[in-house]
Chains A and B, each alone.
Chain A
């Protein structure tokens, strides 16, 4: 697995690199200190996951996220010192596959990294418990629908999902309709939180597995 870490604090990059290497030694890590460098790196090789600090010297916030999404299809997880709810919502809605605040406890941080390395999505706990309890009885998603949801939460566009699952884009759209209705949600963030709440992550990781 190849991971690109984009952060302007070299010490922090070192910390994450060492931690991830201890957790999964076979992972290959590269780093970039700015958006420019990141784009250069992306042009040199394919990565499976991007870890992005959204406060870079040459780009900030959701703008950085959008620039990277245009370059590359890999899921992007935001790791940032800012844990304001609005910032998190903005990033998820812009297609981030997860958000790990830098202030997270070391243990929770390790779990978060584990989830993210396994292609799952991660949201900090304080984002999950606050969302309105919508009408959620039992949710019955088919295998295909789960797959589509998982890839959506990873931040992939409909086109990419369609290509990966080898079906028409229209089919993907139809699946998403059904999934959103079943979960009773209106946005990516809500879908992510709902999936988390219902413990779909377990079955999602299995489906993607």
Chain B
């Protein structure tokens, strides 16, 4: 019941989160300041150009000093605003103050542009229209640059569009009143629309911010859920491991006690009872194994260990092993498999599948035969286990692979086991990625088909004989202080076709080298006294610098390995097979 409650609580929390604002005012404001700073710095150039245009228009009709003063002031405020907006984010002012600063900057900007309306009255109609276009454009743009933040936007809008509208209405003009009045009205309407747009823009910002916050929170919750699932999984694995260990020991002990008892002289009745104990223990063992296997498979702990192995020998072995069991029940167990089939899969797990299928076949077949054969179908090879049992009704065929399911065993007669065999087969076949099919009808027996991962046979080690051809004249100097080893190694090397010279110490080795050159020296790592193979090889290389060398050692002490490693000479471990030795020699002589 516990898990169900937990999810219920979780979903109600989610619902709560959706209705209430997920962000605190401060977080949103911080985001706002960021946007104001970013956006506000985007448009200095166009604003400057617009101011220049207004100034040059005004210059025609007004004193230069006035116009220049205004342009100067407008440019200064532009620069000042640009600079301060940039510093706004990184300043140490509290957030509320930052926002006020942003509004102030907007206001100053608005005022400086609005002041250009002082020229309005002196400008002819055409220039008045141009100035209006500039101002309206700048105002519309400021919806975006103030990120819809109403106070900041109003701080810009009011000093600009409000006087503009009034001026169109009130300033003396050559155009008819109805025209100027309409323009004033339209500008006022536009201002109202822009305010509405600004509010919408702000809502958009807020919504996008909130949705981002929600996603972050969701991610955090997901991560927590993932962590808790993983730790539950680990706990389950630990439980399995300890259950497996702890349950088995007493069971094994029980089985040994029963076996011990069986060996003692007992009267017939006691003997029978011991036999039953024995059977019960065996069954307990088998089912415990099956139960733990299923849990392991479900917990995804088992990793297949792929290798190439002979299907033929596996099936032969199983055939021999299950033959007595089949014969006891009066059944005939047949095997029909080509002689040289190899598979690439996990050998133990694959064998387990076949065993379980065989166990099942034998258990449920009352008379006739069970046949193991290889069948080709759908351009692939399948292992078919066919029995002459009662057959399985199509409606039951999916069910039999479920754990604990047994057809016709409503009383759960324990003799038939727990019903886990096929469940394990199904999981294992899925783990090994082998298709599994069932063909059966009541009265006609059942056939289980297992897809086979056929593989070419494993590469066999290179036959030793091939060595002789390429190494007919290679000369090897063999250095070892033990006469027996020298002798046996000499025999081995000569049988491989090499010419062998012998030495028992560094000195005698050097002497040998002086009389005739060799192609390779093989030396034992430890020679008599203070002498060593490394020393020997070093001495020999002074006489013949490019002499190939191999070291042999019966020692696995790390220092020795290090010494050989540092000397840069390959080290082989004794005892070593002929093939490996040959490979090493060939590699030294012909480093390709």
A22 and B282 CA atoms in complex are apart in Å by: 20
- Asked if residues A18 and B249 are in contact (CB atoms below 8 Å), the reply is no
B244 proximity list for chain A (CB < 8 A): 81
Structural contact, B264 and A177, CB atoms closer than 8 A: no
Q: Specify which of B258, B281, B309, B575 is in contact with A130 (CB 8 Å cutoff).
A: B309
B458's nearest neighbour on chain A, judged by CB, is A132
- Inter-subunit contact B260/A18 (CB<8 Å): yes
Are B252 and A186 closer than 8 Å at their CB atoms?
no
The answer on a CB contact under 8 Å between A110 and B259 is: yes
**Would A174 and B577 count as touching, CB distance under 8 A?**
no
User: Does A30 sit at the interface, judged by CB under 8 A?
Assistant: no
In this assembly, does A115 line the interface, its C-beta being within 8 Å of a C-beta of chain B? no
A173 CB-CB contact with B under 8 Å = yes
Complex contact A173–B554 (CB within 8 A): yes
Task: Check: B280 CB closer than 8 A to any chain A CB.
Answer: no
- Determine whether the beta carbon of B309 is less than 8 Å from that of A102: no
By a CB distance below 8 angstroms, the chain B residues around A185 are 577
A60 within 8 A of B: no
- In the complex, B531 has a CB within 8 A of chain A: no
Q: How many residues of B contact A (CB 8 A)?
A: 49
CB proximity to B under 8 Å, residues A169-209: 169-171, 173-174, 176-181, 184-186
Question: When each residue 463-498 of chain B gets 1 if its CB lies under 8 Å from chain A and 0 otherwise, what string results?
Answer: 100000000000000000011110111001000000
Interface residues of B in 236-266 (CB under 8 A from A): 244-245, 248-250, 252-260, 263-264
Cβ contact within 8 Å between B483 and A170 = yes
Q: Which of B278, B317, B460, B575 contacts A106 (CB 8 A)?
A: B278
Verify B483–A103 contact, CB threshold 8 A.
no
Contact flag A158-B252 (CB < 8 Å), given A22-B260, A170-B482:
no
Q: A22-B260, A109-B256 are in contact. Are A178 and B576 (CB under 8 A)?
A: no
Which residues of chain B are near A19, meaning CB under 8 Å? 256-257, 259-260
Contact partners of B229 in chain A: CB under 8 A: none
Q: Which residues of A are found within 8 Å of B580, using beta-carbon distances? A: 186
Partner of B575, one of A55, A103, A176: A176
**Chain A residues in 8 Å Cβ range of B252:** 12, 15, 102-103
Whether A186 lies near B248 (C-beta < 8 A) is no
Residues of A within 8 A of B206 (CB): none
Q: Is the CB of A174 within 8 A of B487?
A: yes
Verify if A118 is at the interface (C-beta below 8 Å from B): no
Interface residues of A in 8-23 (CB under 8 A from B): 9, 11-12, 14-16, 18-19, 21-23
Output the nearest chain B residue to A185 by Cβ-Cβ distance.
B577
Provide the residues of chain B in CB contact with A71, threshold 8 Å: none
Bound CA span A184–B460, Å: 12
Check if B253 sits within 8 Å of A15, measured CB to CB: yes
Closest residue of A by beta carbon distance from B464: A135
Residues from chain B with Cβ under 8 Å of A178 in the complex: 488
Inter-subunit contact A180/B575 (CB<8 Å): yes
B583 to A: closest C-beta gap in Å: 11
Quick one: closest B residue to A7, CB to CB?
B249
Q: Is the CB of A18 within 8 A of B482?
A: no
| A180 and B577 contact, Cβ closer than 8 Å, known pairs A135-B463, A168-B484 | yes
Query: How many residues from A make CB contacts under 8 Å with B?
Result: 43
A15 touches B256 (CB 8 A): yes
How long is the Cα–Cα vector from A186 to B580 in the complex, in angstroms? 8
* Chain B residue nearest to A83 in the complex (CB): B348
- Interface flags for B269-295 (1: CB within 8 Å of A; 0: not) read 000000000100110010001000000
B554 is contacted by which of A16, A129, A158 (Cβ under 8 Å)? A158
> Inside 8 A of A105's CB, which chain B residues have their CB?
282
B contact residues around A174 at 8 Å (CB): 482, 484-485, 487-488
A184-B580 Cα distance, complex, nearest whole Å: 10
- Give complex CA distance A9, B492 in Å: 50
- Shortest A109–chain B CB gap in Å is 7
Across the interface, do A170 and B257 meet the contact criterion of CB distance under 8 Å? no
- In the complex the two chains form, what is the Cα distance from A12 to B255 in whole Å? 10
Evaluate contact between B577 and A12: CB separation under 8 angstroms: no
B253 x A11 contact (CB < 8 A): yes
Q: Closest residue of chain A to B309, judged by CB?
A: A130
On whether the beta carbons of B249 and A173 are closer than 8 Å, the reply is: no
* Chain A residues closer than 8 Å to B254, beta-carbon distance: 15
**Would you call B313 an interface residue if the criterion is a C-beta within 8 Å of the partner chain's C-beta atoms?**
yes
Which residues does chain A contribute within 8 Å of B578, judged by CB atoms? Answer: 181
Report the Cα distance A107→B285, complex, angstroms. 14
Decide: A177 near B574, CB < 8 A? Known: A14-B253, A170-B482, A170-B484. Answer: yes
A158 to B556, CA, bound (A): 13
* Residue in A16, A81, A102, A177 whose beta carbon sits within 8 Å of that of B488 in the complex: A177
Of all A-B residue pairs in the complex, the 8 with the closest CB atoms, nearest first, are A170-B482, A15-B256, A15-B253, A174-B484, A174-B488, A22-B263, A11-B253, A9-B249
Q: B interface vs A, CB < 8 Å?
A: 244-245, 248-250, 252-260, 263-264, 278, 281-282, 285, 289, 305, 307, 309, 313-314, 317, 347-348, 351, 458, 460-461, 463, 482-485, 487-489, 492, 554, 574-578, 580
16 contacts across the A-B interface (CB closer than 8 A): A9-B253, A12-B253, A15-B253, A15-B256, A22-B264, A55-B245, A85-B348, A103-B285, A171-B484, A173-B485, A173-B575, A174-B482, A177-B488, A177-B492, A177-B575, A177-B576
Question: Assuming A135-B463, A173-B482, A177-B575, what are 5 further A-B pairs, CB within 8 angstroms?
Answer: A21-B260, A81-B244, A106-B256, A174-B484, A186-B580
